[in-house]
Amino acid sequence: MSSIEPLKSPDDQIGLSNEELYLKLWEREQEHTKTRWNVTTFFFSISFAIFGFSLQTSNPPVPPIISHSVALAIYWFAFVLFWRFNSFTNCLREYLQEMEISGQVKMNVQSRANQAMKGQYSKWLSTFSLMFYFGIIYSVAVGLLWWQRIG
């Protein structure tokens, strides 16, 4: 983590105290997280709907391999979007924690959240990791489905 300079008094150009800035940043992080999940869920739903629909039709208008490829592409697109959104979320969270550690604020919401989420399997069971593992399983399942139809 890089160090941050303490903010000037509330009389500076921003006009916010460190506590107010902290809360605004925390609110922005929460809004960003909500947006990240809304976008990700939307694209995952489209991916699964296309895949499910392609399995239910007996005479599909396009070959199933195309439908399955599109469904997988949408899933991985959603994953990359989640990854991109997540990097900004992590940046905001690190900034909040730096404000806490440097003593600029009395609150410690982010430090407590980080502590609560740490555990023996936290790296392997993070949302990012679980979505990646599921994507691999989803891709392998689609590949096996193609292989079964060809063979």
pLDDT by residue for the chain (151 residues), tens digit each? 556 666 555 445 457 788 899 999 999 999 999 999 999 999 999 999 999 988 887 787 888 889 999 999 999 999 999 999 999 998 999 999 999 999 998 888 888 888 887 776 666 788 899 999 999 999 999 999 888 877 6
Overall size of the chain counted in residues: 151
- Could you give the CA distance from residue 131 to residue 75 in angstroms, rounded to a whole number? 10
- CA–CA separation, 44 and 128 (whole Å): 14
User: What pLDDT was estimated at residue 111?
Assistant: 85
DSSP assignments along 8-62, one per residue: --TTSSS---HHHHHHHHHHHHHHHHHHHHHHHHHHHHHHHHHHHHHHH-SS-SS
